[in-house]
């Protein structure tokens, strides 16, 4: 069965306005500005028509059923996320393979049976106060004695959080309900009578000029009281664009405020001694020219990771009573530090060696090297969090072909035992995951992971999917997801390029692909595509590009810039209008990553890079599936709407240009297994269909 390519005349009509603006002497047309208004009836009608078109195309493909069945088989494995010990209880997220979302489980002792403490399903339904929107757990932390759980729920994929408190022994919620929180963690006080969190002002009755993402404040909520009675701890109205991450040390001695501005990787650190009534908030290491992240705290010692004069990171200790002094514990090394944990008398430091994890052990007080923690293979480690006075910790380890196994670490002898092993619905040893290095346009060496089934021949015919992220200093390392496994089972190749802009090699690698250098990340991605085609893996017609959020920006920019290198492109929730992103919701905070069109030099770089503004009439572009969600309050769907309308207008070839709009989720997509399966099925269906993957005989 085949499907005829979508013709330009089949696309829903989108009105083109004569709107042109002057940007530093450059005339920039914006004919689809009206699509920025989600409440405009014309926008809603156009989106509905696009939704019908994409559904007709995707649901008619013979690949839809095949991909869905493969994904369902992979998805049905039993999974667990890293456990944490608090007050003698063990908390961890678990899914039996059939549940719509992970549940938070608890064990009252190491030998006890686990029980469900928190299930997002109980918050879903028409009576949840959010029009039946899907609820997800966004944050959860137990009190020091393990008696209470502070947790926050988000609805419909929104970044907004609602905090509640649950009794661990009974599973009963207390009356407390805290609103208007976003991007917030929580830190309990020492006796578990309350916790600190970040919130914003509630919207005024007339909220036309209300900006919900500015002027956060840290408050203390005492268990059993009204949110109106929360105590204001910190607020800086002179710097309304700052964000605040809040936490407390494991023994409750100090409140920690990590203060950041936008997506800038640097931050300030302020502390408050909670043992001294009336103690003031003091600046600790006040320079904002570096990043500081918390590892652990005990008494008057804080262990911190920083890139101060060390772009690949180092470990320091600080005594808050002497805020201008610090002691270097572990010096910068050739590899970037990903994270660390203090357990008993040891410091475990996770490094990234060529975008894969390894763990070195040091003495927590003098930094003396004590050896290395053996890991199963090249992959990704998460966890290693514990109180410095504890003797055990848990971590998970995963790779491209193996779901996360959770291990228990005994710090007394560094022995590692399996706490949870996943069930397999496939043979992980039937796949290969190799790392290669290639040259980018300017000669920079860039690593790329290339994964395939052992039986796939390298004759240039394999449909290949190339993914990338390359932004905000985030390191993308080998992790397990169902999509690539299903793709490889069907004969495809999956590749992941660690392009500049990420954090795989520290802050220097990030800076090399951000701001006015963001084009370098796109060039890295294009070079990866060319390498795969020239080295016997695939051909341009059989190569697809895909990325999410910033990754969506990169793949769209690459396909628009060099449409000859790929046969399809799937940008998901991408920032596609780089001249106006700062006008919407939290977009202003990304100026530190992209630059701002208000600045003439930044504008020149952004105009050259922006996927929306690089589109040209009478150009043949690859098959494109643009994915967004109506509830995305981070990267608003207007980016995808305007890009889709423009690309449909300019496309001169026969390759389809489709807009897939998720009507029930947000930036993080739908957390439910059923809806998540549908989302992934559509994307991999589009890739399989447009890249010419052969339907297996048994189908």
How far apart CA 149 and CA 96 sit, in angstroms, is 22
Buried-exposed string 409-436: b where 16+ CB fall within 10 A, e elsewhere? bebeebebeebbebeebbeeeebebeeb
Report the alpha-carbon angle 548-553-559, nearest 5: 110
Helix (H, G, I), strand (E, B) or coil at 202: coil
Q: What is the DSSP letter of 12?
A: P
Instruction: Indicate which residue of 51, 453, 510, 667 is catalytic.
Output: 667
Distance of CA 560 to the CA centre of its chain: 24
How far apart CA 555 and CA 361 sit, in angstroms, is 39
598-603 long-range contacts, CB within 8 A, separation 24+: 600/24, 601/516, 602/515, 602/516, 603/23, 603/24, 603/26, 603/579
Helix (H, G, I), strand (E, B) or coil at 152: strand
Contact 619, 564 (CB under 8 A): no
Report the alpha-carbon angle 664-647-680, nearest 5: 35
At 684, give phi and psi (nearest 5°). -70, -30
Return the C-alpha torsion angle 612, 617, 619, 623, nearest 10. 50
Task: Say whether 363 is catalytic.
Answer: no
Q: What is the DSSP letter of 694?
A: P
What is the 3-class SS of 20-62, one letter each residue?
EEEECCEEEECCCHHHHCCCCHHHHHHHHHHHHHHHHHHHHCC
697: buried, middle or exposed (CB in 10 Å: 19+, 13-18, 0-12)? exposed
What is the longest distance spanned by two Cα atoms in the chain? Answer: 74
- According to DSSP, the residues that pair with 340 across neighbouring strands are 349
How far apart CA 197 and CA 216 sit, in angstroms, is 10
Instruction: Indicate which residue of 549, 610, 665, 681 is catalytic.
Output: 549
At 528, give phi and psi (nearest 5°). -65, -45
How far apart CA 220 and CA 155 sit, in angstroms, is 24
How far apart CA 409 and CA 430 sit, in angstroms, is 29
Task: Say whether 534 is catalytic.
Answer: no
Give the CB-side neighbour count of residue 285, counting CA atoms within 13 A. 30
Tokens representing 319?
A: 């005594």
What is the 3-class SS of 94-136, one letter each residue?
EECCCCCCCEEEEECCCCCCCEEEECHHHHCCCCCCCCCCCEE
- Which residues does 131 contact at the CB level (< 8 Å), separation at least 6? 156
Helix (H, G, I), strand (E, B) or coil at 487: helix
How far apart CA 58 and CA 68 sit, in angstroms, is 12
> Helices (H), strands (E): how many in the chain?
11, 39
Contact 520, 510 (CB under 8 A): no
Any idea which residues carry the catalytic annotation? 549, 667
């Amino acid at each position: 069965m085949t499907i005829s390519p979508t013709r330009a005349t089949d696309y829903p009509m989108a009105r083109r306005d004569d709107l042109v603006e002057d940007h530093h002497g450059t005339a920039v047309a914006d004919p689809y500005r009206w699509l920025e208004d989600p409440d405009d009836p014309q926008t809603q009608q156009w989106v509905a028509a696009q939704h019908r078109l994409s559904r007709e195309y995707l649901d008619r493909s013979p690949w839809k059923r095949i991909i869905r069945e493969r994904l369902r088989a992979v998805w049905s494995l039993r999974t667990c996320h890293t456990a944490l010990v608090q007050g003698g209880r063990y908390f961890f997220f678990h899914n039996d393979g059939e549940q719509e979302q992970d549940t938070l489980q608890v064990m009252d002792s190491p030998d006890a049976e686990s029980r469900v403490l928190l299930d997002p399903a109980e918050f879903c339904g028409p009576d949840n106060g959010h029009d039946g929107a899907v609820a997800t757990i966004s944050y959860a932390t137990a009190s020091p004695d393990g008696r209470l759980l502070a947790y926050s729920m988000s609805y419909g994929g929104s970044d907004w959080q609602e905090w509640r408190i649950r009794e661990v022994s009974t599973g009963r919620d207390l009356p407390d309900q805290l609103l208007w929180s976003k991007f917030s963690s929580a830190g309990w006080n020492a006796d578990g009578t309350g916790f600190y969190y970040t919130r914003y002002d509630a919207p005024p009755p007339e909220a036309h000029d209300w900006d919900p993402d500015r002027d956060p404040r840290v408050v203390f909520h005492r268990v059993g009281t009204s949110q109106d009675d929360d105590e204001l701890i910190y607020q800086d109205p002179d710097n309304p664009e700052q964000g605040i991450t809040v936490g407390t040390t494991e023994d409750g001695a100090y409140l920690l405020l990590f203060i950041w501005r936008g997506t800038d990787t640097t931050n300030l650190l302020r502390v408050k001694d909670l043992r001294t009534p009336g103690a003031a908030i003091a600046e600790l290491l006040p320079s904002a020219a570096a990043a500081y992240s918390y590892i652990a705290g005990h008494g008057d010692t804080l262990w911190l990771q920083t890139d101060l004069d060390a772009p690949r990171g180092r470990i320091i200790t600080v005594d808050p009573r002497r805020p201008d002094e610090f002691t270097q514990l572990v010096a910068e090394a050739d590899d970037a530090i990903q994270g660390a944990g203090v357990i008993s008398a040891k410091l475990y430091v996770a490094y990234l060696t060529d975008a894969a994890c390894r763990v070195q052990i040091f003495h927590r007080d003098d930094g003396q090297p004590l050896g290395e923690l053996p890991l199963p293979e090249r992959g990704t480690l998460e966890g290693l969090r514990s109180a410095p006075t504890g003797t055990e910790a848990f971590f998970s380890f995963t790779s491209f072909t193996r779901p996360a196994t959770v291990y228990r670490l005994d710090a007394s002898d560094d022995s590692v035992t399996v706490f949870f092993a996943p069930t397999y619905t496939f043979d992980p040893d039937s796949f290969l995951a190799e790392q290669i290095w290639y040259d980018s346009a300017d000669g920079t060496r860039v690593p790329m992971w290339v994964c395939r089934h052992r039986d796939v021949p390298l004759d240039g015919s394999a449909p290949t999917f190339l993914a990338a992220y390359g932004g905000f200093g985030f390191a993308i390392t080998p992790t397990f997801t169902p999509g690539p496994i299903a793709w490889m089972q069907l004969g495809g190749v999956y590749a992941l390029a660690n392009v500049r802009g990420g954090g795989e090699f520290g802050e220097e690698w990030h800076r090399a692909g951000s701001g006015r250098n963001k084009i370098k990340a796109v060039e890295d991605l294009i070079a990866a595509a060319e390498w795969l085609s020239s080295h016997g893996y695939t051909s341009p017609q059989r190569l697809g590009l895909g990325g999410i959020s910033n990754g969506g920006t990169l793949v769209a920019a690459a396909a628009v810039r060099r449409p000859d290198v790929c046969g399809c492109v799937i940008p998901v929730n991408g920032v596609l209008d780089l001249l106006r992103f700062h006008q919407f919701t939290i977009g202003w905070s990304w100026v530190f990553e992209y630059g701002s069109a208000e600045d003439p030099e930044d504008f020149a770089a952004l105009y050259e890079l922006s996927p929306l503004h690089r589109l040209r009439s009478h150009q043949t572009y690859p098959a494109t599936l643009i994915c967004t969600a109506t509830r995305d309050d981070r990267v608003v769907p207007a980016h995808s709407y305007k890009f889709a309308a423009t690309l449909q207008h300019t496309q001169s070839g026969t390759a389809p240009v489709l807009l897939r709009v998720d009507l029930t989720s947000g930036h993080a997509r739908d957390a439910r297994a059923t809806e998540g399966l549908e989302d992934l099925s559509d994307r991999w269906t589009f890739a399989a269909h447009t890249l010419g993957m052969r339907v297996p005989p048994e189908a």
